[in-house]
Structure 1
Amino acid sequence: MKKAALLSLPLLLAACNTTGTPGGSNASVTVSPNKTSVTTTAGQLAGTTTYAFTNKAGGREVTINSATLTWTDTTTKTAKSETVSVPSFTLPAGLTCAAATSNPSAACNFNDSGTIYADRTLSKTFSDAELFAKVLSANPSASNLPVTVQFNGTQNGLPFSFTSTAQGGDDGKPAEAAPKPLLTINTTGTQPYSGSLSITASGNFDVTSKVKSLVLEVSDSKGNIDNTSFTSVNPNVSFSVDTSKYPDGALTLKIIALTESGLRGESTPQTVQIRNISAPTISILSPDANSTVTGPVTVRVQLRQSTSAFTLTPFNGSNDVRLDVRDFQGRIVKTTYGKANRVSEGIFEAYIPLDLIGSEFSSNAYTITATAQAVLTDDSTRTLNAATPITTKVNNTKPPALSVLMPAYVEDPYAGATRSILSRNSALEIQGSDDGGITDIRVDFICDVATALPTQSCPASPFTHNIPVNVAGVVYRIFEIGALLDAQPYVQNGNYSLRVTASDGSGNSNVQEMPVRVSRATVDSDIAGLAEQSIVDNIVEDTRPGELNIRSARWVIPGSDGSVPGRTVNRVRVSTLAYDNTTNTLIPTRQRLDPVFSAGSTIQLTQSFADEGSYRIDYIVQDLVTGVTRYYQGGIIVVKRNAS
């Protein structure tokens, strides 16, 4: 414990952190420069001066934020003075402690063990343009002009000798020079930094310049550049950068100074390392919270990186996401697993099928909980959880069966993230069945901000299209989605989750969901090696009386080079759709699905006719390498019987 006899009034004032009056004097603070003369170069103030501020033992804490410069006008012989602002800083009280050994700016608490009163010195470097710009403006041509500099809160004035030589422009005035900004990182300690980063920006503008803006440009480790968050119209400014808003790694800082006349200057970039250890977030994107589930669903789980990179620890095999279903009493009634795959930078998603309809489940309230274990860059493991409440409705009839046949996954969705591509020339093929009849099939394009492209805007509601059905048994529906992309609602190019819902008259539904990309680019519309349209050729006619006028015809897709038939460049998936005596493109009378045609295959079908009527063959083709899906609508052949 300290002895009372050692306390003095100055020391008590310092221990109470009393601050001197800004702009006034403090008898305990002195300052000395590393030079006493300032000279312009080519009419510009390009140098810097370092000032050592010393607070005597027991002196009060002092804030320095301005300086007053005084000189005698050489013409009128009258005293002139100008007060300028300098980047504010605090000179600690006249106490020293262990913290002050490594950090000259550290404040010491007198009540802490080891704190004693002693002189404290802090050095600050200011550009000569900051302090002497107004002197130069008033004295463009001066030789050894005595100038006194008095910082607020200090005891002594500093004598300087100021020399300037006017550089003549066309009008004899000094020519404006580009600013030469200076960046100072005030934060001390060992990198990587976390939390807030203190930055001082000095514009070093020419005395004749008008300041337009001073910008701190921040570039993160992912290549993102932020030059809008930190701006000022002042020639000197301090910024506080919240490093937790940027990904861990290198953070590059640069000051950009702009003048009203269009001149620009940039400081030397400085790179620091940052690390703010934070766990990723986990959320359940579907089914929606508080929704009613009447059939099998696909649970979509998303993990999103905060600032720290992470990996996931598998629960079993390669499955790293666990779903637990709890009843209203909190008991786990079902557990299933899935794998999260990378869909974009820092974003992982898992699509996990879940069926809560059956004899072992009743109509009730349940909670779906998704769990994952993330290993962060500091090797710590965080357990992540997200939950969503749902209710189930079990009826006597089962929910409809539902499959999206075209487009299909280009690769295993649990092993990769390649999206099928839908363009203006695409179509969907949907198969459903229900013993009581499917009432309708709904198609939703759901936009998620986390996986959206940079040019994509996500609306609050999904893009929804509905197909009336009202048919029992097995149904096929062809949906020309490409023709609707440009309609209202307009579906913007970008990444979506394609959700297809089949409902029956009992209120049951089946939901299937898959990631797709909407693109109107030509490269995302064409099937490699194939033309844009199919043709009908090899028409065999018969002119005999009483016979059908056409015996057979071929529907074929030419090559992009004009060859017939064309040959595919990549593996493709092909759905062949036949329309006999119908013009309803939604409902084919016959269909065949070929999961894989090898590269170099032709797409053609020759049909013979036994009855009068109209006939058409369509194709939906998906490139299994690029993901592009294209709909080829064939020509119509009308078959009639010749007169006898």
Structure 2
Amino acid sequence: MKKAALLTLPLLIASCNPSSAPGSGSVTVSSSKTTVSAANSQLTGSTTYTFTNKAGAREVTINSATLTWTDPTSNAARTETVSIAAFTLPAGLSCPASATNPSASCPFNDANTTFADRTASRAISDAELFSKLLSANPSAANLPVSVQFNATQNALPFTFSSAAQSGGEGGKPAEAAPKPQLTINTTGSQPYSGNLSVTVSGNFDVTSKVKSLVLEVRDSRGNVDNTTFTSLNPTTSFSIDTSKYPDGPLILRAIALTDSGLRGESAPQTVQIQNVSAPTVAILSPDANSTLTGPGVVRVQFRQSTTAFTLTALNSTNDVRLDVRDFRGQVVKTLFGKANRVSEGILEAFIPIDLIGPEFSSNAYTITASAEARLADGTTRSLGATTPINTKVNDTKPPALNVLMPAYFTDPYTNPTRPVLSRNSALMMQGSDDQVVTSMRLDFTCDQATALPTQSCPSAPYTFNIPINVPGIIYRVFQIGALLDAQPFVQNGNYTLRVTAFDGNGNTNIQEMPVRVSRAAADSEIANLASLSIVDNIVYDTRPGELNIVSARWIVPGTTANPVRVATLAYDNTSGSLIPSRQRVDPILPAGTSLQVTQGFAAEGIYRIDFIVEDLVTGVTRYYEGPEIVVKRNAS
């Protein structure tokens, strides 16, 4: 792709204004003749106009013309604006596509695009352009008139003459029958496909009142449509959706009717159409987002559009493939089936499926049906359809559970030394399940046998619930210190910390460890470390358009006096959440360790690094919540 710095000013203008309003002043016009005459109050024939858009100019839409003349009687200037069938003049750019298609648009930033004048010719019937002039001047002779399309650079000079017809009732000119014409506006070679643009001009007598202007369409089977394309205007453009007609010849004819009963017909014009379209494919069952609890059948339907088709065999007996993907997008099962004809243009395949078994968990899956269709013109199209489903199996497996912080710092089977929790402590748990971990529960249970003399044990444990509802592996950080002083108040003393993980099928996993709750100052700090973490070494960038901060360091001032266990928690745009976006646990760091993390930034956001530190001599567990860094992009 080209860099913007290489673009020239005209190309930049063209790129920023892909479709300008008419009148950019970049267009010049010439005409195939300079005289127009009306015989017997009728304007027949047409004039070819050549429009040139200058190199580098924006594309322009031409949809009107303004006629200017001097009234022979009053000697006053007169103007009339006439609407014409709109067309778009491409921007002043040249590319390989424009060499074969004069109306093609060129990508401004393509290596093969250059500046060049772009020219388009349009035949416009004289009746469409000069009928208002004729109505105002039914007996003009060599009347000078200028025609300017939209606000193009130049006006075209014409000489206009007309002669009134005698012999009508009361000496008035006799009304002449309309002489309609039709013009195919669609460019390119036949056969046409998609939408076909046709302009119909009624060429009505100036004294006529339009009753109807009709474009009659006759298809290759002899069916005639003369009701779809009608108008009350003397000139109009129709868009024919050729895909609604069978491939082959399409015969077009314009019919103009007046209120007085006069009728005019154009000569028939034949165009060839061909719409090659692939069949549609759909998975009819199972329903999207339905839940499978046992074996089932996938029903795949192929429906013909406008072109006959056959399915290409994938192996000796089958022509339809099913791929089952898990929530990661990986294919976990592939099946094949055969599609059979159920009615004209419709094939269906019924493929048995079973996603209930030991190798499949209750989860979300996606079924994709695919096939290769060979169309009547010999081309091949790849077909595909997708539907999401869920499975539900009987699950008796409990979720996995680990309490990562705090941890035992001596062997609990030989020396059950208790980790210490204070007002400044936090817990970190890891859980996982092949379905969903729905919640975790924390219980502080007091045992009379291990209670301190100053401690009274309630009959019920102190309980805290944490909602989860996440499948796979999950981490949760819980600031238990903030809740110790809440109601119910957790006394200082010895407890059994019980953590229970639940899944959606009633299965549980329980982990227990002895802990001591203490609010003493000595049990709230890690020796030789500051009470709060800070952010320093912030590297700023003031350049326009760049991130305002390149990197920063989170640090707990000081060095550890004893060996420690450290959990490092990163929050990238997840501030205030129980879910760290990244985490690491160092089981043991020696005395004299400095706790610090330097992070670089590649995107805007709010960033924070936290630490949970456990002294492996005293058991004190301390939570350091880091300051937030807000990274934004400088103004350009």
Calculate the TM-score normalised by the size of structure 1.
0.45
Calculate the TM-score normalised by the size of structure 2.
0.46
- Which one has the largest radius of gyration? 2
